[in-house]
């Protein structure tokens, strides 16, 4: 089975021009077929405040009202996405920027209102892997921003980590898929205050152990739940660490397998 790499970059990389350029160089050099997924929450907050729109967060998650959705569509789908695509073209990577509405690639349901009404936020329900594959087979590199749609004309703000894992699950019907979650840490850390205390390999048993010891907690919990969900649904392996894990030289990051 042919290999496919799906790489997700966080907001801190997007915000820093030098980090973004360095990352895109590494991404361009990545061999084989690939997909890039990005968010852009910090930039959206910044643009919203310039427009006099207050960003509302609950438990670190953005409440997306109609005004905020307009800003997110402009920033994620326009400003950030097209900037990345243009930089990739300069590096000879023939990228195509997409939301989940393009080629009907990622459909979501609007998140139901329970204790909190998140507004126009989507939970992914369907990935059109065959449609995405047509682009890949034509030697295009898809670059997805964190927006999906409901199939009835409504765009939805969607978590970029979730888009990454769901696209990887969909594409695993056609490829041996690996995910790379790039962020500012070197990987999953044994000790949050020691950036070199990387747990290099996590499997189902290690995962239970780390949970019991409280080493995996807070923001890492949903990330790793997401990872194991993807692994149980066809993804072959997941890597977490800083952008240098895309090079052959660096082996100081976390690899997660079943």
pLDDT at 199: 94
Query: What pTM, to 2 d.p., does this model score?
Result: 0.95
Chain Cα centroid distance, residue 97: 14
To the question of whether residue 62 is assigned a binding role by annotation, the answer is: yes
Exposure of 53 by Cβ count < 10 A (0-12 exposed, 13-18 middle, 19+ buried)? Answer: middle
To the question of whether residue 157 is assigned a binding role by annotation, the answer is: yes
The residues of the chain scoring below 50 in pLDDT are: none
What are the structure tokens assigned to 100, written together? 């989940």
Q: Distance (Å, rounded) from C-alpha 147 to C-alpha 37?
A: 10
To the question of whether residue 159 is assigned a binding role by annotation, the answer is: no
What are the structure tokens assigned to 105, written together? 């690639």
Quick check: helix, strand or coil at residue 100?
coil
State the virtual CA torsion across 126, 129, 132, 133 in degrees, nearest 10.
Answer: 180
Question: 3-256, which class in CATH?
Answer: alpha beta
């Amino acid at each position: 089975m042919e290999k496919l790499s799906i790489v997700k970059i966080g907001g801190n990389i997007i915000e820093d021009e030098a980090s973004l350029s360095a990352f895109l160089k590494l991404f361009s050099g990545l061999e084989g077929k690939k997909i890039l997924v990005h968010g852009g929450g910090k930039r959206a907050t910044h643009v919203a405040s310039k427009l006099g729109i207050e960003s509302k967060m609950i438990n670190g998650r953005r409440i997306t009202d109609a005004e905020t959705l307009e800003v997110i569509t402009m920033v994620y789908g326009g400003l950030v996405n097209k900037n990345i695509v243009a930089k990739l073209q300069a590096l000879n990577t023939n990228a195509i920027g997409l939301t989940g509405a393009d080629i009907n690639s990622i459909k979501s349901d609007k998140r139901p209102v329970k204790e909190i009404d998140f507004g126009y936020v989507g939970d992914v329900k369907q990935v059109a892997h065959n449609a995405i594959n047509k682009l890949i087979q034509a030697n295009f590199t898809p670059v997805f921003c964190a927006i999906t749609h409901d199939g009835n004309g409504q765009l939805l703000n969607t978590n970029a980590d979730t888009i990454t894992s769901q696209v990887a699950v969909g594409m695993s019907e056609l490829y041996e898929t690996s995910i790379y979650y790039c962020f500012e840490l070197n990987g999953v850390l044994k000790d949050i205050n020691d950036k070199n205390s990387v747990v290099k390999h996590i499997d189902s048993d290690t995962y239970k152990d780390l949970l019991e010891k409280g080493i995996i907690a807070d923001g890492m919990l949903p990330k790793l739940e997401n990872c194991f969900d993807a692994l149980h649904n066809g993804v072959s392996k997941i890597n977490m660490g800083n952008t240098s894990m895309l090079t052959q030289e660096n082996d100081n990051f976390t690899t997660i397998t079943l």
